[in-house]
Structure 1
């Protein structure tokens, strides 16, 4: 079975639903659409894709008009979990979907910019997600993690004219993200496209980074090592506007 899995930090599902920016769905037709930072309760989410998706799973969390993750799917999951062992502050940052022997995560990693305390929370979130993923792999599960990681992995993943040692690109944050690759996870985009430059998924509104393509690649779809040879293609849809992020996706054979 071929699946298309797409991920997008929409920076507000209610705001973006008014911008008519989902035409790309008709072309790519993702079986699973994972959205982050929806900033809405389940009741506030507009009816958008009911014509195509039979399932809608929402984790709004306890923070009003902040965070929140939402997954649309036209395949049935065996189970869904909000992983409160990871998102222990209930901020609406994760959903784990299970399809037989495959676990798919929709994640919105915390931003550590606000304070040292938030940075520590971000690193702890990474650590807990890594431990949980490792445990699933040990149990024989295949794992796919998609979403906004709020960290650029390598130098190539951000515009070099920008300041490097800042939130999202500090050595400590990169070190924690690197642990996923040490565990055996594969960066699906780099697996397909290698060292392709100027491949970004987030741009600053303030500096008009989108117009100058001065961005960061902080959105990823990671797959466990056993799935790497099943990746058919990987996408960054940087021509899609509506958010300060753009959609990313993979086509994979499961």
Structure 2
């Protein structure tokens, strides 16, 4: 089973920049997106063979998540009980027979860290949610998590220490998930690979020079370790300030 995740930074804009070409070429079984930035009825996509699920923010042109899936889910959950910023469409969960898929767009602490406290509260609620799900069946947690976990995950670690996305507090929240039994699937396959980034500033020549951050993830429950087949970053795919990430699993293992 192939899964893909991509923060498209506005789905309508990304469609005009080649989204469908990549979507058709990658032929994922499950395709997750973040930052859809649209409301119901603003875009109709013809995706034969896929069911489409959208969780939009109440605020127009902001946030939002979606999942396109060939495999029919047993249930779909929009947000979760106790979620902070529940009106921003940040969490979309699909339950399948063998696992839960949780697609997230993590709260951004903002450049001045004015939203850091709220972000940390959101992280605490998400942690409780996914660990509770994990007690029932394995979880694949994916999306834009808005944090570079370690120094290898961004180009200029020293200059960005304590900046939004690389504060100790944000990094500790991701560490807690890993300590609770979740696997950073990309680092599982490439533990020491440098220059592996998923987001770049729109500043001139930044992406060309690969001055980026790895802030998009597939995390998997520990008991899915033997099912992990491949993980990848499609950094050559344009259309957003993020690039798509991939995970292949064999649930028959």
Q: Provide Cα deviations, 1:149-170, integer angstroms capped at 9, x if missing partner.
A: 0000010000036722210001
For the pair 1:211 / 2:208, whether they are aligned, the reply is yes
| SS of aligned partner of 2:86 | coil
**Count, aligned residues:** 249
Match of 2:156 in 1: 160
- Cα deviation digits, residues 186-213 of structure 1 (max 9, x gap): 0111111221110000000025321110
2:190 maps to what in 1? 193
Q: Is the 8 A contact 2:112 2:164 kept in 1?
A: no
Q: Does 2:73 align with 1:77?
A: yes
The TM-score with structure 2 as length reference comes to: 0.93
TM-score when scaled to structure 1? 0.93
Shift of 1:130: 0.8
Unaligned residue ranges in structure 1 (runs of 5+): none
Distance 1:179 1:207, change over 3 A: farther
8 Å CA contact 1:67, 1:108 repeated in 2: yes
- Alignment-derived partner of residue 57 in structure 1: 53
1:44-88 Cα distance to aligned partner (Å, 9 max, x none): 1242x42241x1000002121000001101110000101242244
Is 2:37–2:62's contact at 8 Å kept on the other side of the alignment?
yes
CA–CA separation in structure 1 for the residues paired with 2:147 and 2:111 = 14
Distance 2:16 2:23 in 1: 16
Tell me the distance in 2 between the aligned counterparts of 1:125 and 1:63: 18
Match of 1:229 in 2: 226
CA RMSD in angstroms comes to 1.6
Long gaps (5+) in structure 2? none
- Residue 105 of structure 1 contacts residue 145 of structure 1 at CA under 8 Å; is this kept in 2? yes
1:9-24 aligned within 5 A: 9-24=7-22
Secondary structure at the counterpart of residue 102 of structure 2: strand
